[in-house]
Amino acid sequence: MKILVCISHVPDTTAKINFTNGDTEFDTNGVQFVINPNDEFGLTRAIWFKEKQGAHVTVVNVGGADTEATIRKALAIGADEAIRVNASPTDGFFVAKQLAEVVKAGNYDVVICGKESLDYNGGMVPGMLASLLGYNFVNSCVGAEIEGTKATLVREIDGGKETLTTDLPIVIGGQKGIVEEKDLRIPNMRGIMTARTKALNVMEPVAADAKTKAVKFEKPAPKSAVKLISPDNLDELINLLHNEAKVI
């Protein structure tokens, strides 16, 4: 079984976010980048298939040379090889188009993406990728089992979970639950050293027009000052909740 895991290079959730050029561009200065958390859950599940069923795991990223440290971390976690498409990920369709070419060239049985990346939260790439390939697609996966050419998948739905069975090939949009947070792999020294010798192939992008463009960014309004009310002054608390906060 050949598995392709699509990983995004995203800012750490603890990073301080700023914008430049009139709030039209993200300021990367001083920002630590990591594997997109939803992608890392999917990668960990792929490594499980590798260990239990002998799957071959490849990771792919659409990005510049600055993403290679993130790709190497995925190799240190346990992926067998990596591909970097040498292009800036301008929008979801452009990324999906590049990934589709990688899938076609590699003839992968299973493609695992995070259901969305935590930078732009577009959630578009997995579905677009499945459409471009004509593959079956299940999003918001919190469980995945594969036997032969059949996959059994559990996905979150409003108010519960749904179990589905389908044939390979398939695109899976994964999230926390496809493995638990405690099951995520921390690269050890052996994995880090081995990652240096694993293949990281660079591909040039195919022509694809971006369908969307970020015009401007805006940070949320700062939180207002906290007012402390004496526990003995319930009348004042009720007055503020009613007339100022307007929550009652």
pLDDT of residue 37: 95
What backbone phi and psi angles, to 5 degrees, belong to 101? -65, -40
Which amino acid appears at position 57 of this protein? V
75, 7 in Cβ contact below 8 A?
no
**Mean pLDDT confidence for 16-34:** 91
pLDDT of residue 219: 87
Q: How confident is the model at residue 67 (pLDDT cuts 50, 70, 90)?
A: very high
Q: What 3-state class would DSSP assign to 142?
A: strand
pLDDT of residue 183: 94
Q: CA 35, CA 94: separation in Å to the nearest integer?
A: 20
Query: Tokens at residue 117, please?
Result: 């990346």
**Mean pLDDT confidence for 97-118:** 96
pLDDT of residue 68: 95
Q: CA 226, CA 80: separation in Å to the nearest integer?
A: 51
Q: How confident is the model at residue 175 (pLDDT cuts 50, 70, 90)?
A: very high
pLDDT of residue 161: 96
Q: CA 111, CA 141: separation in Å to the nearest integer?
A: 13
Q: CA 96, CA 128: separation in Å to the nearest integer?
A: 6
**Mean pLDDT confidence for 4-20:** 93
- Whether the predicted model's global pTM rises above the 0.95 cut: no
Sign of the CA dihedral running 176, 182, 188, 190: negative
In the block, tokens 């695109």 appear at 171
9, 63 in Cβ contact below 8 A?
yes
The three-state DSSP-derived secondary structure of 59-104 is EEEECCHHHHHHHHHHHHHCCCEEEEECCCCCCHHHHHHHHHHHHH
Percentage of the residues of the chain whose pLDDT score is greater than 70: 100
Task: Name the least confident of 9-18, 39-48, 64-73, 135-144.
Answer: 9-18
| Helix or strand holding residue 125 (H, E) | helix 125-133
pLDDT of residue 105: 96
pLDDT at 157 over 90: yes
146, 49 in Cβ contact below 8 A?
yes
Query: Tokens at residue 52, please?
Result: 């239990």
Q: CA 181, CA 224: separation in Å to the nearest integer?
A: 33
pLDDT of residue 210: 87
pLDDT of residue 202: 97
Smallest CA-to-CA distance from 175 within 147, 153, 151 is with 153
99, 110 in Cβ contact below 8 A?
no
- pLDDT tens-digit profile of 188-246? 998 999 999 999 999 999 999 888 888 999 988 888 888 888 888 889 989 988 888 88
* Domains with residue ranges and CATH for the chain: 2-220 (3.40.50.620)
Is the pLDDT higher at 72 or at 118?
A: 72
pLDDT of residue 110: 98
Percentage of the residues of the chain whose pLDDT score is greater than 90: 77
Task: Name the least confident of 34-38, 69-73, 83-87, 208-212.
Answer: 208-212
Mean pLDDT for all residues in the chain: 94
